[in-house]
């Protein structure tokens, strides 16, 4: 039983690594709105099959100066030939950040950015 679980985890890890490597150019932009809240937007194209993002708002966690964004993902079976990539765009309101430098790590597509918050 444990060996079967290890194989499943290995396959899932390989699929994840493969899907991350296949993600075409995407970008992460940050800006402040008129209320002083920081908005993070991830956009670009992502695979339509394999490991891909669900159409759900990601969750985020702030620990010190690191903001980790977790985009829910799902595995979708690919056809032959596989479908074209699909457009992805998700904006997340990070709220009013304290003054300082932050690193934002977005899980899928795998993106990272630095951001200097002027504060409230």
Nearest to 117 by CA among 42, 54, 46, 40: 40
> Which domain does 106 fall in, by range?
2-117
* The predicted structure's pLDDT at residue 80: 84
* The predicted structure's pLDDT at residue 120: 59
Q: How far is CA 21 from the centre of its chain?
A: 13
Task: List pLDDT tens digits, range 48-82.
Answer: 888 889 889 999 999 999 999 999 999 998 888 87
Return d(Cα 95, Cα 32) in angstroms, integer.
9
Q: What is the mean pLDDT of residues 89-113?
A: 94
Number of domains in the chain: 1
């Amino acid at each position: 039983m444990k060996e079967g679980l290890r194989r499943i985890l290995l396959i899932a890890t390989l699929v994840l690594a493969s899907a991350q490597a296949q993600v075409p150019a995407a970008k992460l932009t940050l800006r402040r709105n008129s209320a002083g809240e920081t908005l993070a937007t991830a956009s670009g194209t992502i695979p339509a099959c394999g490991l891909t993002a669900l159409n759900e708002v990601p969750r985020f966690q702030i620990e010190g100066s690191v903001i980790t964004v977790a985009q829910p993902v799902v595995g979708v079976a690919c056809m032959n030939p596989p479908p074209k990539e699909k457009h992805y765009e998700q904006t997340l309101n990070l709220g009013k950040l304290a003054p300082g430098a932050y690193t934002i790590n977005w899980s899928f597509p795998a993106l990272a950015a630095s951001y200097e918050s002027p504060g409230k």
